[in-house]
């Protein structure tokens, strides 16, 4: 019996370093000191699932906003967004996080219009 108990009797492996993955299922667990735990089970896409339908908004002109602690952080984020103008999933994740960031900790805000002539602006929010 090892420190991992009966887990070694099945087809499980505790991964502690970068390991090639052949696909299938993978479980990810995170245990926090304060009692916050997170568990995730992922399944690799089958070869017939790798072709995604293009999102209807992927080619439309859209406003993307972001927030960061520095002007460089905003500009880097917007530049990455403009490199991938049809990646609506990335833009959704970015948009959904902006509203929860306080101006006191992320005092720089910016925007970009994607799928149009490059137009972006970065501003610093006055905290007084």
Cβ 66 vs Cβ 106: under 8 Å: no
One domain, residues 78 and 114: yes
Task: Provide the Cα torsion 20, 26, 31, 32; round to 10°.
Answer: 80
Q: Please check whether residue 17 lies inside any domain of the structure.
A: yes
Give the sign of the dihedral formed by CA 108, CA 113, CA 114, CA 116. negative
User: Are 111 and 71 contained in the same domain?
Assistant: yes
- Residue-wise pLDDT tens digits, 63-118: 888 888 888 888 888 888 888 888 888 888 887 777 677 778 888 888 888 888 76
How far is it between the farthest Cα atoms of the chain? 64
Provide the pairing of β-strand 108-114 with 37-43: unpaired
pLDDT tens, position by position, 15-65: 788 888 788 888 888 887 777 788 888 888 766 555 667 788 888 888 888
Give residue 86's domain range: 62-124
Asked whether residue 119 is assigned to any structural domain, the reply reads yes
**What is the residue whose two structure tokens read 């667990």?**
29
Confidence of residue 1 (pLDDT cuts 50, 70, 90): very low
* CA dist., res. 106 & res. 127, Å (int): 10
The model carries a pTM of 0.55
């Amino acid at each position: 019996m090892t420190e991992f108990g009966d887990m070694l009797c099945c087809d499980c492996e505790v991964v502690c370093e970068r390991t090639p993955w052949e696909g299938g299922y993978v479980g990810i667990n995170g245990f926090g000191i304060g009692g916050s735990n997170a568990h995730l089970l992922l399944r690799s896409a089958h070869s017939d699932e790798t072709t995604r339908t293009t999102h209807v908004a992927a080619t439309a002109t859209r406003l993307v906003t972001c927030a960061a602690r520095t002007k460089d952080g905003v500009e880097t984020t917007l530049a990455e967004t403009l490199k991938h103008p049809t990646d609506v999933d990335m833009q959704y994740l970015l948009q959904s996080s902006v509203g929860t960031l306080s101006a006191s900790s992320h005092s720089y805000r910016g925007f970009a219009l994607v799928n149009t002539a490059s137009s972006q602006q970065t501003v610093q929010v006055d905290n007084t």
